[in-house]
Structure 1
Amino acid sequence: MVSHPPGGGARAVARCIALREPPFSAEPGMLFRAYLTPAHGAALGRLAEWMREAGMTVRLDGAANLIGRYEGWRDMPPLVMGSHIDSVRDGGSYDGPLGIMLAIEAVEALAASGKRAPFPIEIYAFGDEEGSRFPASMLTSRAVAGTLDAAGLEMADREGVTLADALRQAGERWEIVTGRAPFGETAPFGDAAQYLAARHPGAIAYLEAHIEQGPVLEAAGLAVGVVTGIAAQLRYNIAVTGMAGHAGTTTMPLRRDALAAAAEMVLAAERIAREAASDVVATVGRLSALPGAPNVIPGRVDFTLDVRSLDHGRRDSAAAAILDAFAAIADRRGVALETGQTNDFAASPCDPALMDLLSASLAAAGQPAFRLPSGAGHDAMNMAALCPTAMLFLRCAGGISHNPAEHVDPADAEIALQVMLGFLDRLGETL
Structure 2
Amino acid sequence: MHETDWGALAQLWLDRLADCSEPGPGVTRLPFTPEHRAALAVLTELMEHAGLAVRLDDAGTLIGRRDGPDGAPALLMGSHQDSVREGGAYDGIMGVVLPILALMKLNADGLKLPFPVEVLAFADEEGVRFPTALMGPRALAGTFDMAALNLRDRDGITLRKAMEDFGLNPSALPDLKRNPKQILGWIELHLEQGPVLETANQHIGIVTAICGIERHIVTLTGKATHAGTVPMEMRRDALVGAAELTLATEALARQTEGLLATVGALQVRPGVVNAVPGSVTLTLELRASEDTLRECAGTKLTIIARDIAERRALEIEIIRTYAQSATRCEPQMIARLTRAANGERNHHPLHLASGATHDTSAMASLCPVGMLFTTCRDGLSHHPDEHVTKAAMSSAIMTLTRFLTEFHSGSFSQI
Band the TM-score falls in, shorter-chain normalisation: 0.7 to 0.9
1:372 aligns with 2:351: yes
More displaced 10-residue stretch of structure 1: 79-88 or 278-287: 278-287
Map 1:407-426 → 2, pairs under 5 A: 407-426=387-406
1:122 paired residue among 100, 118, 132: 118
Displacement of 1:8 in angstroms is 2.2
Displacement of 1:315 in angstroms is 0.5
Q: Distance in 2 between matches of 1:54 and 1:252?
A: 74
8 A Cα contact 2:53 2:66, kept in partner: yes
Secondary structure at the residue paired with 1:385?
coil
Rg larger for: 2
Displacement of 1:297 in angstroms is 11
Identity of aligned residues (%): 35
1:99 aligns with 2:79: no
Displacement of 1:362 in angstroms is 2.6
1:355 aligns with 2:348: no
More displaced 10-residue stretch of structure 1: 366-375 or 297-306: 297-306
1:50 paired residue among 34, 46, 52: 46
8 A Cα contact 2:77 2:118, kept in partner: yes
8 A Cα contact 1:312 1:347, kept in partner: no
1:147 corresponds to which residue?
A: 143
- Match for 1:273: what amino acid? A
More displaced 10-residue stretch of structure 1: 34-43 or 51-60: 34-43
Question: TM-score scaled to structure 1, two decimals?
Answer: 0.77
Q: Distance in 1 between matches of 2:11 and 2:219?
A: 43
1:384 corresponds to which residue?
A: 364
Question: TM-score scaled to structure 2, two decimals?
Answer: 0.80
- CA, structure 1 residues 48+396, in 2 after alignment: closer, same or farther (shift >3 Å)? same
- Match for 2:179: what amino acid? P
Displacement of 1:149 in angstroms is 3.5
8 A Cα contact 1:234 1:345, kept in partner: yes
1:10 corresponds to which residue?
A: 8
More displaced 10-residue stretch of structure 1: 76-85 or 206-215: 206-215
- CA, structure 1 residues 35+330, in 2 after alignment: closer, same or farther (shift >3 Å)? farther
8 A Cα contact 1:226 1:358, kept in partner: yes
Map 1:244-323 → 2, pairs under 5 A: 269-274=249-254, 276-285=255-264, 305-323=284-302
1:184 corresponds to which residue?
A: none
- Match for 1:19: what amino acid? L
Q: Distance in 1 between matches of 2:80 and 2:279?
A: 34
Q: Distance in 2 between matches of 1:372 and 1:311?
A: 15
2:37 corresponds to which residue?
A: 41
- Match for 2:336: what amino acid? L
8 A Cα contact 2:61 2:136, kept in partner: yes
1:344 aligns with 2:344: no
Q: Distance in 1 between matches of 2:276 and 2:55?
A: 52
Structure 2's unaligned 5+ residue stretches are none
Cα RMSD (Å) of the superposition?
A: 4.0
Structure 1's unaligned 5+ residue stretches are 178-187
1:372-424: CA deviation from partner (whole Å, max 9, x where unpaired): 12232322233222222222221222322233332211012112111111111
Displacement of 1:85 in angstroms is 1.9
- Match for 1:107: what amino acid? L
- CA, structure 1 residues 348+100, in 2 after alignment: closer, same or farther (shift >3 Å)? same
- Match for 1:126: what amino acid? F
